[in-house]
């Protein structure tokens, strides 16, 4: 074997040795990356599970009021409301007139309605007839203002046709607490809500100015579903740490009804 050919052979052998020495280190590096990523993923899932499913108050501290009597009728000392879900949005449907509150005296689109659906959302997205991805991203991460949406309804089944709806019967005192919070979310002028524009359901619906101190700034972490959960929490219903997804909110309502 010639000298040049021998030198080339030695270089090839040396490179093979170096590669074989480095391979275990590379494998170990990627193994560590995979381990850290797995632990982080498990931790994230645990945090989300805690936020979604662990109630903010123990079940024994929940307000307990049966929905119906033995004959299937609603007790006279309760007020029944509904939690309506529309894919990614939730709203609360309350009676317009009850022993606690007459909403028709304060909200002008409810004069001829038996029930009222209340919801909260980003002003641009909520009041837009046609929405797009850009508006949704802006609402979740760069919202400038928010509004309260109100729709007047007849007796169920409701013509807004929610994807899912659950009835929830509250004691008079718990319902009064819910009403107090909902009222605080409106911006008031001379004992009337400040109307912005008519809604999408004719003269029985409208958008009203929201009170920033009560609702906060609309965002991914403080969205319409979180608002609904806050209303229910004021009513003595155990809610999760974060109810930003409609299905999570409905799961807790179903649990309360069991």
pLDDT tens digits, residue range 156-195? Answer: 999 999 999 999 999 999 999 999 999 999 999 888 899 9
Residue 65, CA atoms < 13 Å, CB-side half-sphere:
19
Helix axes 172-184, 224-234, angle to 10 degrees: 140
213 phi/psi in degrees, rounded to 5 = -65, -25
Tell whether 125 is covered by a domain.
Answer: yes
Tell whether 4 is covered by a domain.
Answer: no
| pLDDT, tens digit, 9 for 90 and up, residues 120-134 | 999 999 999 888 999
Tell whether 14 is covered by a domain.
Answer: no
Counting beta carbons within 10 angstroms of the beta carbon of residue 173, is it exposed (0 to 12), middle (13 to 18) or buried (19 or more)?
Answer: middle
Tell whether 185 is covered by a domain.
Answer: yes
Say what percent of the chain tops pLDDT 70: 72
Domain residue limits at 221: 59-257
Total domain count, the chain: 1
- Residue 12 has what pLDDT? 42
> What sign results for the dihedral spanned by CA atoms 222, 224, 230, 236?
negative
What is the residue-wise DSSP string for 127-175?
T-SS--HHHHHHHHHS---EEEEEEEE-SSSPTT--SEEEEEEEEHHHH
Q: Name the band, by pLDDT with cuts 50, 70 and 90, for residue 13.
A: very low
- Checking if the pLDDT of 71 tops 50, the result is no
Tell whether 153 is covered by a domain.
Answer: yes
- Residue 243 has what pLDDT? 92
Tell whether 21 is covered by a domain.
Answer: no
Tell whether 9 is covered by a domain.
Answer: no
Q: What does pTM read for this prediction?
A: 0.78
Q: Which residue has the higher pLDDT, 20 or 84?
A: 84
């Amino acid at each position: 074997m010639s000298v040049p050919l021998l030198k080339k052979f030695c270089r090839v052998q040396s490179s093979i040795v170096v590669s074989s020495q480095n391979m275990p280190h590379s494998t170990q590096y990627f193994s560590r990356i995979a381990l850290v990523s797995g632990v982080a993923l498990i931790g994230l899932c645990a945090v989300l599970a805690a936020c979604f499913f662990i109630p903010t108050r123990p079940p024994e501290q929940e307000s307990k009021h049966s929905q119906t009597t033995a004959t299937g009728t609603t007790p006279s000392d309760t007020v029944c409301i509904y939690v309506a879900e529309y894919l990614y949005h939730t709203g609360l449907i309350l009676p317009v007139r009850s022993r606690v509150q007459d909403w028709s005296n304060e909200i002008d689109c409810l004069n001829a309605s038996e029930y009222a659906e209340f919801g909260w959302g980003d002003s641009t997205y909520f009041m837009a007839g046609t929405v797009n991805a850009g508006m949704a991203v802006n609402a979740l991460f760069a919202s400038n203002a928010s509004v309260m949406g109100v729709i007047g309804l007849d007796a169920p089944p409701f013509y807004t046709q929610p994807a899912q709806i659950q009835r929830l019967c509250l004691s008079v005192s718990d319902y009064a607490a819910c009403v107090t919070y909902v009222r605080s979310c409106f911006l008031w002028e001379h004992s009337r809500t400040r109307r912005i524009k008519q809604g999408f359901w004719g003269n029985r619906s409208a958008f009203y100015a929201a009170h920033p101190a009560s609702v906060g700034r609309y965002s991914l972490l403080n969205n319409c579903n979180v608002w609904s959960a806050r209303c229910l929490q004021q009513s003595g219903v155990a809610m999760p740490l974060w109810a930003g997804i409609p299905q999570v909110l409905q799961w807790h309502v179903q649990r309360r009804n069991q």
